[in-house]
Amino acid sequence: MVGLAAIRRKTPGWCAGLLVPLLAAVSSGGPAHAGCFPVHEQEFLALRHLVSRDASEALAKAEARVARMPAGSARTDPRRLAGLYAIQAAAYRELALYHAARAPALRGLNLLGGALDPLHQQLLSSYALSFSSPAGIVRALRQIKQARAPLRTNSASALCLEITAGELNILRNRSDLAIRDLTQAYMQAQALGLPVVRTDAGVLLSNVLRRMGDYRQALRLIRQTIGWDKTRKSTDYLANDLYFEGGILRSMHHFHHAIAAYRRARAISATSDNRQGVAYANLRICQVDLAVKRLAAARRACNRAAPVLAAGNAYASIKETDALLARIALAEKHPRHALALLNKVLDHSGADMVPSTVAPAYLARSQANAALHRYAAAYRDQSQYVRRFKAQNRISRARLRAALEMRFRTTQEFRRNAILRRKLQAAAHRAAKQRQLLNWMGTAGVAGGLVIVLLSYILISDRRHRRQLLLLANADPLTSLPNRGHTAQLATLALDSAIEHNRPLTVALLDFDHFKTINDRCGHAAGDHVLREFARLSREALRGTDILGRWGGEEFLLVLPEATLDSALLTVERLRALASGIDVSAGEPPTQLRVTFSAGLATTAEGARTLDEIVARADAALYEAKDAGRDAICISRAARAAPRWG
């Protein structure tokens, strides 16, 4: 039996650290779905909650009990032994020793034969999540898919395995697929009344949405989870959820609220003697205190976190702590101490760090070198910072777009299925009422003419009901404009017609500038007012044949049939003027905020044959407008070179 101490001795610090950046984003601070799968083994249940409070103690107890159960003995209960192996695997994952979780998970799987057994599925989930290489993760995904195949799609175990697939897709840096898996699991668990499964999916989905930048939705999800944990008095998970809430608020620059959330998480962790939870809360408090220039408080929080993180071999977090202490030293005019810390942090060029922390570390070391007049080294670090920042930003933007698209498709599919279920239920209800009416009419001997009139009324009512459902499914609830799916349908029809008849058509992608500033300074109600007012003014200003739809967030797609590039520019300029007149005030005394948007234009003259092609070119032009300083209109590069319509 290999214990925790032996694993730590055998694992070089930088190697273990390579795993943490990949898995830190999905680690929820508790057992890997230990409460998700409906496992009922007493040995497992007795130690399950201890894993999140003190993983080292849970691991020691599980190993001691296994040692008292000789392998191969006829008196050994294989299910009890498998439950203890499941606790070991969960504890190793909690300690960020993911590779070590594989062996006990595999031993437990070898003891159980039934794929329909929840304990088997719990072990399989831990085994799958122990992989870090791309090839291993892909194999694990296949195993999870095979395990789900024989299960009922609406069972708790099937949904828990779908959550595991979502975690694996996060490890693959496929946020789009993770959004699909976690959204489906969350919505189905909510519809089926499975709150524990919904909570697991909600926490992970909230974390992915935060990484994507969808802070409002992430905050809504995590606060739902916090409310549920308070209702069932689940302190084991409440501290973890408050920690995530603090992370979202920190990303939104709501620093004082973030510190309050972290402090509540720390207090709950301290009450349950969860030293690691206290350390991670202190690390985040240090980060926020530094952001608001409370340097002494930041240093105290980081120094409290450091020894606990070091004892737990949390290598990536140790480096993050040193990087924060270095930035504090820089702010206090101690560049030599900051440089010593940063040289240690970047000893493997960021390979053993969370990717989002590497570029800021190079920037801080550049500043330290410059303060010490080491300008050549400062220039090299500055170049590294710029290169890594651009690469990370480019990757994040591409993943964000893919994830948003997948989230939109998943939500739309779920809504369509829900509408279809409601329609079928309504049709069955109407059919039952019709049978009752017809039976009554036959018994009473009512004339056949009355039956015809009644059926005609039902048919007309059914058509009206279907029209109302179609309208709700196609309209954006905030602006009453066509939603993304309906906009894409209308735009595709217009594009096909333009190509068939060799007529001009221009597409514009509009995106409001600094929209987060409006929400932060004036409130989200003001942001909603801007979008509604823009939709109203635009409907009045556009032609009846023009198509304007909400494309996502503060982004709109404008399709202008029979419009050359020059006339389209005039139309977009007119909409820009209308947008700038929308009244938004903030502060005391009130300060008028100017509403602006940037736009990218593309046209069929470029040779685009599909909606995806022309929108992609308009999107590229939009990014040029953003890079040019915003409040600008740019034409796609292909359109500049294409011949104009006569």
pLDDT band at 335 (very low <50, low <70, confident <90, very high): very high
Please give the structure tokens belonging to residue 612: 């995806």
What is the C-alpha separation between 455 and 202, in angstroms, rounded? 46
Cα 574 from chain centroid?
A: 36
Residue 20 reports pLDDT greater than 50:
no
Residue 544 reports pLDDT greater than 70:
yes
CB-CB contact of 512 with 564 (8 Å): no
Return contacts of 537-542, CB within 8 angstroms, 24+ apart. Answer: 537/575, 537/578, 537/579, 537/582, 538/575, 538/578, 539/481, 541/574, 541/575, 541/578, 542/571
pLDDT band at 8 (very low <50, low <70, confident <90, very high): very low
Please give the structure tokens belonging to residue 10: 């055998």
Identify the weakest region by mean pLDDT among 430-434, 489-493, 504-508, 511-515.
430-434
Please give the structure tokens belonging to residue 82: 């498998």
Residue 6 reports pLDDT greater than 50:
no
Q: Provide the sign of the torsion angle of the four alpha carbons 58, 62, 63, 65, taken in this order.
A: positive
- Give residue 252's region: left, alpha or beta (phi > 0; psi -120 to 50): alpha
Average pLDDT over residues 425-447: 63
What is the C-alpha separation between 281 and 117, in angstroms, rounded? 37
Quickly list H helices, 193-294. 195-212, 215-231, 235-251, 255-271, 275-291
Res 217: pLDDT: 85
Residue 459 reports pLDDT greater than 50:
yes
pLDDT band at 25 (very low <50, low <70, confident <90, very high): very low
Cα 446 from chain centroid?
A: 61
Identify the weakest region by mean pLDDT among 262-276, 305-319, 348-362, 461-475.
461-475
Res 218: pLDDT: 87
Identify the weakest region by mean pLDDT among 125-129, 443-447, 555-559.
443-447
Average pLDDT over residues 540-544: 91
Q: pLDDT tens, 127-158?
A: 998 888 888 899 999 999 988 888 888 888 88
DSSP letter at 622? Answer: H
Q: What is the mean pLDDT of the chain?
A: 81
Residue 466 reports pLDDT greater than 50:
yes
pLDDT band at 443 (very low <50, low <70, confident <90, very high): low
CB-CB contact of 4 with 57 (8 Å): no
Please give the structure tokens belonging to residue 96: 């960020």
What is the C-alpha separation between 323 and 343, in angstroms, rounded? 10
How would you classify the pairing of strands 547-552 and 555-561?
antiparallel
What is the C-alpha separation between 458 and 431, in angstroms, rounded? 10
Res 22: pLDDT: 33
